[in-house]
Amino acid sequence: MNDWQQSLREAYREPLRLLKDLHIDPARIDWLDPTPSEFAMRVPRGFAARMQIGNPQDPLLLQVLPRRAEHEDVAGFVPDPLGEAQFQPFPGLIHKYHGRALLIATGACGIHCRYCFRREFPYAQARQGTDGWQAALTGLRADPSIEEIILSGGDPLSLSDDKLERLIEQLDDIAQLRRLRLHTRQIIALPERVTPRLLEIFARSRLRVVVVIHSNHANELDSQVQEALAQLRQIPALLLNQTVLLAGINDSAAILAQLSQRLFECGVQPYYLHQLDAVRGAAHFALADETARGIMRNLNAQLPGYLVPRLVREVPGAPGKSPLNWGPLD
Ligand X SMILES: *Cc1c(COP(=O)(O)O)cnc(C)c1O
Q: Is 47 helix (H, G, I), strand (E, B) or coil?
A: helix
Q: What is the DSSP string of 123-183?
A: HHHH-BSSSSBHHHHHHHHT-TT--EEEEESS-GGGS-HHHHHHHHHHHHT-TT--EEEEE
Question: What does DSSP assign to residue 276?
Answer: P
Spatial CA neighbour of 17 closest among 52, 46, 42: 42
CB 78 within 8 A of CB 236: no
Does 277 bind ligand SF4 (CB under 6 A)? Our answer is no
Picked from ligand X, ligand SF4, none, the partner binding residue 264 (CB below 5 to 8 A depending on kind) is none
Could you give the strand order of the β-sheet that contains 269-274, starting from the edge strand earlier in sequence?
A: 93-97, 100-104, 148-152, 179-184, 208-213, 237-244, 269-274, 310-313, 322-323
Picked from ligand SF4, ligand X, none, the partner binding residue 116 (CB below 5 to 8 A depending on kind) is ligand SF4
CA 137 to chain centre: 23
Segment interacting with ligand SF4, rule: CB under 6 A, options 107-115, 142-150, 231-239, 285-293:
107-115
Segment interacting with ligand SF4, rule: CB under 6 A, options 74-82, 153-161, 221-229, 291-299:
153-161
Does 185 bind ligand SF4 (CB under 6 A)? Our answer is yes
- In the complex, the smallest distance separating the C-beta of residue 186 from ligand SF4, rounded to whole angstroms, is 7
Spatial CA neighbour of 44 closest among 21, 68, 71: 21
- In the complex, the smallest distance separating the C-beta of residue 323 from ligand X, rounded to whole angstroms, is 10
- In the complex, the smallest distance separating the C-beta of residue 286 from ligand SF4, rounded to whole angstroms, is 15
Does 211 bind ligand SF4 (CB under 6 A)? Our answer is no
Total chain residues near ligand X (CB under 6 A): 8
Among 113, 157, 276, 287, binds ligand SF4 (CB under 6 A): 113
Does 102 bind ligand X (CB under 6 A)? Our answer is yes
Does 97 bind ligand X (CB under 6 A)? Our answer is yes
Among 50, 95, 112, 262, binds ligand SF4 (CB under 6 A): 112
Does 246 bind ligand SF4 (CB under 6 A)? Our answer is no
Question: What does DSSP assign to residue 309?
Answer: P
Count helices and strands in the chain by DSSP H and E runs: 12, 9
Q: How far apart are CA 241 and CA 270, in angstroms?
A: 5
- Closer residue to ligand X in complex, CB, 236/320: 320
CA-based radius of gyration for the chain: 19
Segment interacting with ligand SF4, rule: CB under 6 A, options 1-9, 113-121, 202-210, 296-304:
113-121
Does 116 bind ligand SF4 (CB under 6 A)? Our answer is yes
Q: How far apart are CA 13 and CA 257, in angstroms?
A: 32
Decide: residue 25, CB within 10 A, 0-12 exposed, 13-18 middle, 19+ buried. Answer: exposed
Does 150 bind ligand X (CB under 6 A)? Our answer is yes
Does 155 bind ligand SF4 (CB under 6 A)? Our answer is yes
Does 96 bind ligand X (CB under 6 A)? Our answer is yes
Q: Which residues bind ligand SF4 (CB under 6 A)?
A: 109, 111-113, 116, 118, 153-155, 185
Q: Which residues bind ligand X (CB under 6 A)?
A: 94, 96-97, 100, 102, 150, 320-321
